[in-house]
Structure 1
Amino acid sequence: MTAARPRSSNRLKPSAPAVPPRRFAIVGAGMAGVACARTLAQAGHSVTLFEKSLQAGGRSSAQASPFGSFDSGAQYFTVRDERFQKALDTVPGLCRPWSATTVRVLDAAGRVATAAPPPVEAHWVAAPTMDALVQAWAEPLAREGRLHTRTAVTHIERDTLHPNAWQLRTETLDGGRQVHAGFDGVVLTQPAPLSLALLQQSGVATPWDAALAGVDIAPCWTLMLAYAQAVRPGLTTLGPQWNAARSTHHRIAWLARESSKPGRTQIERWTVQASPAWSLEHLDDTAARVQGKLLKAFSEVTGIRATPTHSEVRRWRYAQTQKPLGHSFLWDGALGLGACGDWCLGHRLEDAFVSGLELALAVA
């Protein structure tokens, strides 16, 4: 992923399929869903993605504010699989290295306890926000009208006209309802509990229902702060001199200075992610209560006592996999149903990519 690599196109180039072309519906347009969709499309199959959010991105989605963006979910990614590297080469220049060498482990009193060793692999971020990568890969599908955003899938059922096929019932954010029919296969790329819930409310039983139920994914409360009076790089006095930290504070697991990431605006901004245990304990607290508690913890860890110009929180009900599936994907050829996501292998963005890719390769 260097400047010396040749430029390549991000267009979908169908190849001769190993099997006759089929129609697939993919529920969820995060990293796994888009990786699966683009691979199936490149193999010559017809793919339609359904995403309940405003745009593709999933757990890499960013939060906009008047003072700059926040990577409210995934903070960075690493590259260990050469197939992931080859996919990244299709969007040269979009991802940039982010120096995380100043990461420290902090104690509950806010002092630097131990210096973390230098990272053994490069840390990358997409610019201008983390979701730019998924959106770039999804763009050819969107251009061809195969990405339906703001569209939640409410039921999966057998096609009323073709009993061996599937149809999906959907509802848009404005309340519109529609039936999309004629799919040979359906792939669920939501978090495992949501995929299981959709199957159950649809009355669809699969051989891997118990496997889905066994996946454990922890929640995460995320606090986003901006200090409009502080603009880098001239700033030298507000807060610590590190840009990211893994914290042992009982409320906070991770802190990152958003303005230190390449391609971002220079207004001082922080993303603070609560620990899995604390997030679970306070899962149903009000946003105001969570914001107050995390802001206090942030001050304790960083020493920043100034009142932020902007402060908001976001709750991820399913954020970080604690107990993965242990296989890269699930697929039942007889039913024409499958599931994939980072939760199959772990919690890294590359895990989501590999999961989606390998499911598509298995069925293409």
Structure 2
Amino acid sequence: MTQPKNIAIVGAGMAAITCARTLVQAGHRVTVFEKSRGVGGRMSTRDSAFGTFDHGAQYFTVRDARFALALQTTAGLCRPWSANTVRVLDSHGRVAAAGLPAREPHWVPSPGMNALVRAWAKPLVDAGSVELQTRVMAIAPDALNKKQWQLHTTGADDSSHVYSGFDAVVLAIPHPQAQALLATTPKGEALAKKTNKVSVAPCWTLMLAFPQAVQPGLTTLGPQWNAARSTHHRIAWLTRESSKPGRGRVERWTVQASAAWSQEHLNDDPARVQAKLIKAFSEITGIRAEPAHAEVHRWMYAKTEQPLGHSHLLDAKAGLGVCGDWCLGHRVEDAFISGLELALQVA
């Protein structure tokens, strides 16, 4: 084993927490910095008065033996979700072809997608190694030891703080954000250039709840399928959240806009986006009822269109590393592999 190091990890999604827990298991000291109020990244779950919405990643598959082994540490937390009713729809909501056959299990943590990352992060949180609502603004050589790093941060109350004494810094965040931080130090320029060809598309996500469906003799509204890929110009994916195990009975839908439409309407007023997506949802599903709950969320960096092509980047001499699902693709497992392989190289 190498000499124990003090390592800062920026981000708290799947790649970040996988990297952090692997480094801790190898005997290193880790501090995780996350600008949001909780861990999870795009494995996110939004609460509402009518139940939860997995408004980021919808499910995950398991193809890598290392991921399968890691999941055994939280046995029973993740459950199979029967997605064999998924269909590919045309722009009018008609079934055009079978899609996503059950060739491999589709898994969802319970009670929400964020439960897996939260479970893996709990030992770090309990140890006081996770700084939430802390945005890293710049990285720079440590004022007392130029061979180490310090992080300049801002908090939720706009307070500023400098964290010092890190032997290495790992950026487990979307590549444009990683590029921006790497640009704050001359030592990061080489790594930043290697990510120039990466392309990640945005996504507007709509969340709807229809509690009126929970009545005697009425269990669902609209179509009998629970998830669908769509060729509608506005919508790429729809999921009946209440069909997932452990999610509650109230009928809820998560609707993800297409990459092209999301990009075209990236800076639109959220209310306008919501109205347009509800209209498209009605066209596809035939559900004309007024939702009791509706909201939208904009993901600036949702689905990788052009990946890096390597699981991670590491400049061992400078003590800088980069990881994330965008290194390999856009799947949850891609994020896991990226964070794991970076940690193993550092360790």
Which TM class, normalised by the smaller chain length? over 0.9
- Note the C-alpha offset of 1:203: 5.1
* Higher mean C-alpha deviation, range 306-315 or range 61-70: 61-70
1:212 corresponding residue in structure 2: 195
Whether contact under 8 Å (2:32, 2:131) holds in the other structure is yes
Q: Check conservation: 2:214, 2:220, Cα contact below 8 A.
A: no
Structure-2 residue corresponding to 1:14: none
- Report the equivalent of 1:35: 18
The one of 23, 26, 29 aligned to 2:9: 26
**Do residues 282 (structure 1) and 283 (structure 2) align?**
no
Partners in 2 of 1:38 and 1:336 — Cα distance?
18
Q: Name the CA distance, whole Å, in 2 between partners of 1:176 and 1:113.
A: 54
Structure 1 27/234 Cα, relative in aligned 2: closer, same or farther at 3 Å?
Answer: farther
Paired position in structure 2 for 1:50: 33
Unaligned runs of 5+ in 2: none
Contact 2:182–2:191 (CA under 8 A) maintained in structure 1: no
Matched, 1:270 2:253: yes
Matches within 5 A, 1:120-131: 120-131=103-114
Give the alignment partner of residue 330 of structure 1, picking from 290, 307, 313: 313
SS at match of 2:299: strand
* SS of structure 1 residue aligned to 2:311: coil
> What are the Cα deviations for residues 208-258 of structure 1, in whole angstroms up to 9, with x where unaligned?
222212110000000000012122895345110000000000000000000
Kept in 2: contact 1:252–1:294 (CA 8 A): yes
Task: Letter of the 1:133 partner, please give it.
Answer: L
Mapped to 2, the partners of 1:299 and 1:273 lie a distance apart of 14
Matched, 1:109 2:92: yes
Q: Is residue 2:266 matched to residue 1:292?
A: no
- Contact 1:41/1:47 (CA < 8 Å) preserved in 2? yes
Give runs of aligned pairs for residues 123-162 of structure 1, distance below 5 A: 123-162=106-145
Supply the distance in 2 between the matched residues of 1:120 and 1:232 (Cα, whole angstroms): 34
> Which of the numbers 60, 75, 79 marks the counterpart of 1:77?
60
Kept after mapping to 1: 8 A contact 2:228/2:238: yes
AA aligned opposite 1:354:
I
Matches of residues 344-359 of structure 1 in structure 2 within 5 Å?
A: 344-359=327-342
Task: Report if the CA contact (8 A) 1:232-1:268 is conserved.
Answer: no
The alignment of Structure 1 onto Structure 2 pairs a total of residues equal to: 347
Q: Distance in 1 between matches of 2:132 and 2:215?
A: 35
> Is 2:244 the partner of 1:261?
yes
Contact 1:170 1:177 in 2 (8 A): yes
Distance 1:232 1:203 in 2: 62
C-alpha distance 362-268 of structure 1, shift in aligned 2 (>3 A): same
1:310 paired with 2:293, answer: yes
Which structure 1 segments of 5+ residues have no match? 1-17
Match of 2:214 among 208, 214, 231: 231
Contact 1:252/1:273, CA 8 A, preserved across alignment: yes
What SS class does the counterpart of residue 186 from structure 1 fall into? strand
Secondary structure class of the residue paired with 1:58? coil
CA RMSD across the alignment:
1.2
Identity %: 63
Distance 2:42 2:186 in 1: 27
**CA deviation string 1:60-108 (max 9, x = no partner):** 0111111111001000000000110111000011000000000001111
Letter in 2 for 1:252: I
Q: CA deviation at 1:205?
A: 3.1
Measure how far apart 1:284 and its partner are: 0.5
Q: 3-state DSSP class of the match of 1:129? A: coil
Partners of 1:72 and 1:226 in 2: CA distance: 13
Among candidates 158, 166, 175, match of residue 183 of structure 1: 166
TM-score for both structures, normalised by structure 1:
0.93
1:232–1:267 Cα contact (<8 Å) kept: no
| 1:163–1:233 distance in 2 versus 1, CA, 3 Å | farther
Q: Taking structure 1 as reference, are residues 284 and 129 closer, same or farther at Cα in structure 2, changes over 3 Å only?
A: same
Aligned-partner residue type, residue 231 of structure 1: V
Aligned residue for 1:313, secondary structure, equals: strand
Q: CA deviation at 1:202?
A: 4.6
Q: Is the 8 A contact 1:225 1:308 kept in 2?
A: yes
Q: Which amino acid aligns with 1:205?
A: G
Range that drifts further, 223-232 or 263-272: 223-232
Q: State the SS of the aligned residue for 1:205.
A: helix
Contact 2:234 2:280 (8 Å CA) reproduced: yes
Q: TM-score, length-normalised on structure 2?
A: 0.98
| Preserved contact between residue 168 and residue 180 of structure 1 (Cα < 8 Å) | yes
For 1:116, the aligned partner's letter is G
**Secondary structure at 2:266's aligned position in 1?**
coil
Tell me the SS of whatever aligns to 2:212: strand
The 5 Å alignment of 1:193-208 reads 193-202=176-185, 204-208=187-191
Indicate how the Cα distance of structure 1 residues 254 and 181 shifts in structure 2: closer, same or farther if over 3 A, else same: same
